[in-house]
Amino acid sequence: MGAGAGALAGVLPVLMPRRAGAALRVEITQGNPQPMPIALPEFVAGSPAETDVARNVTLIIVNNLQRSGLFAPINPAAYTEKITNSDTVPRFADWRVINAQALVTGRITKQADGRLKAEFRLWDVFAGQQLDGKQYFTTTDNSRRIAHIISDAIYQTLTGEKGYFDSRIVFVDETGPKERRIKRLAIMDQDGAGTRYLTRATTWY
């Protein structure tokens, strides 16, 4: 549904008769859905040690949104503003120039207790306002999950529908030749990563 953004050029307006002094009324009953251009600059690392985690979290979010088909992440080479502090309001004009309708900024910081703090802000570039902003705390080995949860939050705010990125798929993993097939029950993240086997290798004839 978020794909309806930017669709006004393709609308078929119906002009209604106008009362004296009243505003002209235009009814828009059709749209031209297109993937929403969204900018996701790499999350800021609280210290150099978090650089890799910040990069991976950003990449997972980009891939999730791209794969949904409703978003068109913009090539980072086009970005003119470098986000160095996710707390400051971005220069919206710089993001309008590259036609980004939404912008996500974030930061990953390691806490004194060893946990990771992940923060993000979702900005409406053309309206010049923040649409959402949250922070999460997790253990360092859980950064993939945080990336999926942030993807869900972005998806829900922009489309109105609940996201599905923080979900897993159970499947039967098959290996070996046809006559001695080995099957195992396995589980993976919805993006195909983090496979874990739930059963030992079993031969079924």
Q: Which residues bind another protein (CB under 8 A)?
A: 1-2, 4-9, 18, 23-31, 33, 101, 124, 126-127, 131, 156-162
Taking CB atoms within 8 Å and a gap of at least 24, the contacts of 125-130 are 125/39, 125/90, 125/92, 125/95, 125/96, 125/100, 125/101, 126/92, 126/96, 126/101, 128/92, 130/89
Contact 57, 77 (CB under 8 A): no
> Cα separation of 85 and 65, whole Å?
23
- Report the nearest approach of another protein to the CB of residue 29 (Å): 5
Is the Cβ of residue 4 or residue 133 nearer to another protein in the bound state?
4
Written as six digits, the tokens of 19 are 């009362």
Contact 26, 63 (CB under 8 A): no
- Report the nearest approach of another protein to the CB of residue 105 (Å): 18
Is the Cβ of residue 161 or residue 174 nearer to another protein in the bound state?
161
- Report the nearest approach of another protein to the CB of residue 179 (Å): 40
Is the Cβ of residue 43 or residue 165 nearer to another protein in the bound state?
165
- Report the nearest approach of another protein to the CB of residue 34 (Å): 11
Q: 68 vs 21, 34, 65, 123, CA distance in Å?
A: 45, 12, 5, 20
Is the Cβ of residue 126 or residue 186 nearer to another protein in the bound state?
126
Is the Cβ of residue 89 or residue 185 nearer to another protein in the bound state?
89
- Report the nearest approach of another protein to the CB of residue 156 (Å): 6
